[in-house]
Amino acid sequence: FVAQQQLVPLSLGDIPNVTRQLPRFRQLDAIAGIAHQGRVYAVPYTYSEMGLIYDRKAFGAPPESLEVLWDPRWRGRVLAFDGSSHGFSLASMHL
C-alpha cells in the first residue's frame, strides 16, 4: 500500500499518547510493517504473546511456523481462540 501511495504517513506530533507507550514500542522503525523510508504509517496499540501448542505424538518434530494451521491434514483438528483480533493476527502472520 505504501509503494502505491495508498497510505498517508502519520504525524506523531498529532498523537500525544504515543509518548506513553512501552519503551519497546517507541522505536517504530524497528517494528516490521510500521515505517518505510523513515516515515511512520502505523502505531502499535496492543501486544500479546501467541504460542502454538501441539500434540507431540502427532508431529515427528515441532512445527516451525504457524503455516501448519492451514495444512489440510489438520482440518477440523485445530483449536484456536475465537476472537477476531486473534484470528486476524494469526492469518496476517501466515500471509
Q: Please, which residues have CB within 8 angstroms of residue 52's CB and are 6 or more apart in sequence? A: 63, 66, 68, 69
pTM attached to this predicted model: 0.50
- List the pLDDT tens digit at each of the 95 positions of the chain: 888 888 899 999 999 998 888 888 888 888 888 888 889 998 887 776 667 788 889 888 998 888 888 889 888 888 776 666 667 777 776 67
- The x, y and z cell numbers of residue 74, run together, are 489438520
Residue 42 gets the label, from left (phi > 0), alpha (psi -120 to 50) or beta, of beta
- The x, y and z cell numbers of residue 68, run together, are 501448519
